[in-house]
């Protein structure tokens, strides 16, 4: 009985050690991703004025990008948060995002192109509120906030 108990304990401890190593390895890979950092997302209206601003906590491993988006402006939407999943291929970054709060029907995708080391510019796309067969492109940019 003691042998079985010590084997079970050794297996559990070994599993925990392997899990910790995997998590550490993933963090190392993320930290090596050139785009892993906090970004600021600015969404513009037709006149080029900023109507929405978000923090994007981006994690990159290879071409894969994942993250969390938190609305900063307007103040009435600071409670909004999204998950993000996408790919960075060369100088192009395309992603989908969806609201964490299922009662908030906010989701879409974006396609942005890198214009310098710290900036992407392009569009986020969403279905028209009036006509769900129409996709509305909305100008946006991502700026590196800090590494």
Query: What's the domain count of the chain?
Result: 2
The secondary structure of 52-121 as a DSSP string is EEEEEEEEEETTEEEEEEEEEESGGGTT-EEEEEEEEETTEEEEEEEESSTTS--EEEEEEEEEETTEEE
Q: Are residues 26 and 40 in the same domain?
A: no
Confidence of residue 136 (pLDDT cuts 50, 70, 90): confident
Confidence of residue 130 (pLDDT cuts 50, 70, 90): confident
Q: Are residues 18 and 69 in the same domain?
A: no
Residue-wise pLDDT for 52-103, tens only, equals: 999 999 999 999 999 999 999 999 999 999 999 999 999 999 999 999 998 8
Q: Are residues 83 and 42 in the same domain?
A: yes
Q: Are residues 3 and 57 in the same domain?
A: no
Residue-wise pLDDT for 10-53, tens only, equals: 777 777 777 776 666 566 554 556 899 999 999 998 898 999 99
Q: Are residues 14 and 42 in the same domain?
A: no
Residue 127 scores a pLDDT above 90: no
Q: Are residues 11 and 52 in the same domain?
A: no
CATH number of the domain bearing residue 104: 2.40.128.120
pLDDT at residue 106, rounded to an integer: 85
pTM of the model: 0.74
Q: Are residues 137 and 99 in the same domain?
A: yes
For residue 4, give its domain range.
Answer: 1-32
């Amino acid at each position: 009985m003691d042998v079985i108990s010590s084997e079970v304990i050794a297996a559990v401890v070994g599993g925990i050690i392997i899990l910790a190593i995997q998590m550490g390895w993933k963090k190392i890979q993320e930290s090596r991703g050139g785009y892993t950092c906090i970004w600021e997302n600015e969404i513009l209206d037709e006149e080029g004025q900023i109507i929405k601003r978000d923090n994007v906590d981006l994690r990159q491993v290879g071409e894969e990008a994942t993250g969390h988006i938190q609305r900063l402006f307007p103040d009435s939407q600071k409670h909004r948060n999204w998950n993000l999943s996408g790919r960075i291929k060369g100088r192009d970054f395309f992603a989908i995002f969806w609201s964490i709060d299922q009662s908030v029907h906010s989701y879409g995708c974006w396609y942005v192109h890198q214009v310098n080391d710290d900036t992407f510019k392009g569009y986020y796309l969403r279905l028209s509120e009036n006509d769900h067969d129409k996709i509305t492109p909305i100008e946006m940019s991502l700026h590196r906030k800090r590494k």
